[in-house]
Amino acid sequence: MPSKKIHVREYKVKAHDRIIHTRIYNFICQYCREISERETYATGCPKYGEKCNGVESKCLRCQKQ
Tens-place pLDDT, residues 11-61: 888 888 888 888 888 888 877 778 888 888 877 777 777 777 666 555 555
DSSP 61: H
Question: Given its phi and psi angles, is residue 61 left (phi above 0), alpha (psi -120 to 50 degrees) or beta?
Answer: alpha
pLDDT at 65: 47
Predicted TM-score (pTM) of this structure? 0.56
Task: Identify the CA nearest to 45 among candidates 32, 30, 27.
Answer: 27
Domain that holds residue 9: 4-64
Q: How many domains does the chain have?
A: 1
